[in-house]
Structure 1
Amino acid sequence: MNDDQPEEWFRNSSSTVWGLFAAGAALAVVVLDAATGWHPETTAGGVLFALIAYAAFIRTKVGVSKGDFVLHHLYSTVRFPMAALESVSVGRTLGAYAGGRTFVSGAVGRPMREAVKGSKREHNPLSNQADFIEDRLNSLAQDARDRRRIKRDSDEQFALAEDVRRSWDWPLIAATAVVAVVFVGLLVF
């Protein structure tokens, strides 16, 4: 069911920067290698590194799309109705709870120092990105339940949580696997 819920996406603010930096570094190594005497294993290693950096830093995100809570992982996407989301908490990683299950994503998290403080830290969504994302996702989940007139922790909410769908990013998996096999093959032979 499409709830006319706004589409919103979240990730750590440094993820895109690190992803572009890693992909740029891999490209620089490949170009430098090509300029100084091409070695195919270096090119394959650089491409493999860039693919993994893309999957880890740029592809991973958490959000709301078409009435669903969506977790983009390295090579898969998990989605379920937003109204099924019981709560979200952000520690070192984001934990989303629905239907007695926990879904974890590294796309959003707190720095180690802040995560260790736990409940002793000050909750400030205006100046802390992790607090803002946690509050925003919990608020969107409550709004979705209100629109459907579903009470929190009700049988209807748990029934919605059974609609968990996982899809795999087969083109990215295939590209990574092929490049990894080529890289290992070039190193061994």
Structure 2
Amino acid sequence: MAEREMFPATNGLATGVGGLVVAAVAAVLGLTWVDYRYAPVLLSIALLLAVLTYAVVLRPRVGIDGDDLVLRQVFSTTWIPLAAVQDFELRRIAVFRAGGRKYDSPALSRTRSTSRRVRRLDARLEIDPDERQGKGPTASEFISHRIESAMAAARSRAGVEEWSEEQEALAADVRTQWAWPLVALAVLAGLAVVVSLAA
């Protein structure tokens, strides 16, 4: 049976929930405001804020679906063959390289302080980076390890070496699907804001 796993985002949950709470407050104000002239404006702004908060902050995810790396982005989802991923770097965002292209995902990240600490540890080779000053791996590091293990296993199954021409050729199977209902909802919410402000 093919492995399927979507990892939780390692950042943005509090911001996303906060944005949805603000959108809900704006919607309640729009429904209960004494002066009903402002109700359409508040309701349309609440809808736009909720859609954008979901799309930008809560929707992005990284996962594994069989032999594919899945990058769920703001308005699209991209499937990259795991064996085709040539490089994976976890910085403020996750960066994957396949077939000469770069694919970013804000769903996985290191905090600025963790990134600085990792750079310092990498600079001093006599310090074991796994020790992390007595701390266990962060959620981002655990997920990174899972992805790197899946990449190595996929390369082994496909019989390709890292940075080979065969690996480069596998990147031709990268595919992207747009989340058209979400795109349409965002456009309609934006138009509703414009129309309500113009009225």
Q: What's the TM-score once normalised by structure 2's chain length?
A: 0.84
Residues matched between the structures, number:
186
> Secondary structure, in 3 states, of the residue corresponding to 2:6?
strand
1:30 match: 27
> Secondary structure, in 3 states, of the residue corresponding to 1:63?
strand
**CA–CA distance in 2 between the matches of 1:94 and 1:134?**
9
Of 1, 9, 13, 1:12 maps to 9
Asked if structure 2 preserves the Cα contact closer than 8 Å seen for 1:87 and 1:138, the reply is: no
1:146 match: 156
> Secondary structure, in 3 states, of the residue corresponding to 2:62?
strand
Asked if structure 2 preserves the Cα contact closer than 8 Å seen for 1:5 and 1:144, the reply is: no
Q: What's the TM-score once normalised by structure 1's chain length?
A: 0.89
Unmatched 5+ residue regions in structure 1?
none
2:69 match: 69
Q: Residue 160 of structure 1: CA displacement?
A: 0.5
1:48-92 alpha-carbon deviations (Å, 9 max, x no partner) = 000001111221001111321111110011112111112211100
Q: Residue 111 of structure 1: CA displacement?
A: 1.4
> Secondary structure, in 3 states, of the residue corresponding to 1:151?
coil
**CA–CA distance in 2 between the matches of 1:32 and 1:186?**
15
1:90 match: 90
1:80 match: 80
2:119 match: 119
For 1:35, give the aligned amino acid.
T
Call closer, same or farther: CA 1:126–1:7 in 2, change over 3 Å. farther
> Secondary structure, in 3 states, of the residue corresponding to 2:79?
strand
**CA–CA distance in 1 between the matches of 2:100 and 2:171?**
9
2:175 match: 165
Q: Residue 118 of structure 1: CA displacement?
A: 4.3
For 2:22, give the aligned amino acid.
A
> Secondary structure, in 3 states, of the residue corresponding to 2:173?
coil
Q: How does 1:33-52 map to 2 (within 5 A)?
A: 33-37=30-34, 38=36, 39-52=39-52
1:57 match: 57
1:100 match: 100
**CA–CA distance in 1 between the matches of 2:32 and 2:63?**
42
2:188 match: 178
For 2:155, give the aligned amino acid.
R
**CA–CA distance in 1 between the matches of 2:120 and 2:2?**
33
For 2:194, give the aligned amino acid.
V
**CA–CA distance in 1 between the matches of 2:143 and 2:178?**
25
RMSD after superposition: 2.0
> Secondary structure, in 3 states, of the residue corresponding to 1:56?
helix
Q: Residue 5 of structure 1: CA displacement?
A: 4.3
Q: Higher mean Cα deviation, 115-124 or 126-135?
A: 115-124
2:110 match: 110
Asked if structure 2 preserves the Cα contact closer than 8 Å seen for 1:150 and 1:156, the reply is: yes
Unmatched 5+ residue regions in structure 2?
122-128
